[in-house]
Structures are given as structure tokens and as C-alpha cells.
Amino acid sequence: MGVIIVSTYPDAKSISKVAHHMVEKKLAACVNYTKINSVYFWQGKIHDSGEFLALFKTTSKSKQSLKKEIAKTHPYEVPEIAEIKPDDINIPYLKWLQDSTLKGKPKKRHNSSKS
């Protein structure tokens, strides 16, 4: 089954480094990240600061090792590591997730556009 792990990072540099690390170690097949604003309470006042939202795409088989590695490498003391299991995922993409994580070797995915 496909799984999405959600976390947030302080800057592009840290999430880009972690994303490369997870894909190299085949713990995630793909990592999407985007700039966000975050509003939260801390040290007695409200903060409204820039962060990056990260979506790690992996499989149920690799998710535990991925989550451990996210916790180990995360710059925050208390990072968000939330798991969302899609209710369904198309078979070719699921196969690509499986081939690109611990089990098998990566297969081509983006090389040819239909258009």
C-alpha cells in the first residue's frame, strides 16, 4: 500500500538535504516540498514564520524505517511526523513506489510525456 508521511522543515536547504538522503537510501520514492507560512504558539507568544511542508511518498513496508530516519535527521526537537494512508492508489504508481524503495531497483517514471 502507498503511504504519505507529512512533516515540516525550517528552510529549503534542510528539507532538500533530507529529501535527497531518503531517496538515496530508498526509504522514500519521492519527496514533494513547498513553502508555507506557519502560525503557532511558542515561548509565550504567537509566531507567524516561513516553513516548508514536506510529503514523503513511500510504501507500508518502508514507512517505519523512513519515520525513524526522519526523526533522527530532523532539525527540530519535536517534529511533526504524520502518516496518511491514501484510501486507494493507481497500480502502476504503487508498483513504481515499491520498485523505488527498499525492495527493488528504480524503474523509469517521468522520462516520456504523452503530449
Q: Which residues bind its own copies (CB under 8 A)?
A: 2, 4, 6, 8, 10, 12, 14, 16, 19-20, 23-24, 26, 29-43, 46-48, 51, 53, 55, 57, 67, 71, 74-90, 92-93, 96, 100, 106, 108-115
- Shortest Å, Cβ 58 to its own copies: 12
What is the smallest separation between the CB atom of 61 and its own copies, expressed in angstroms?
15
Q: Which is nearer to its own copies, 8 or 62 (CB)?
A: 8
In this structure, how many other beta carbons lie within 10 angstroms of the beta carbon of residue 73?
13
CB of 66 to its own copies, least distance (A): 12
Contacts of 5 (CB under 8 A, 6+ apart): 28, 55, 56, 58, 63, 66, 67, 70, 81, 82, 83, 84
CA distance 40 to 33: 20
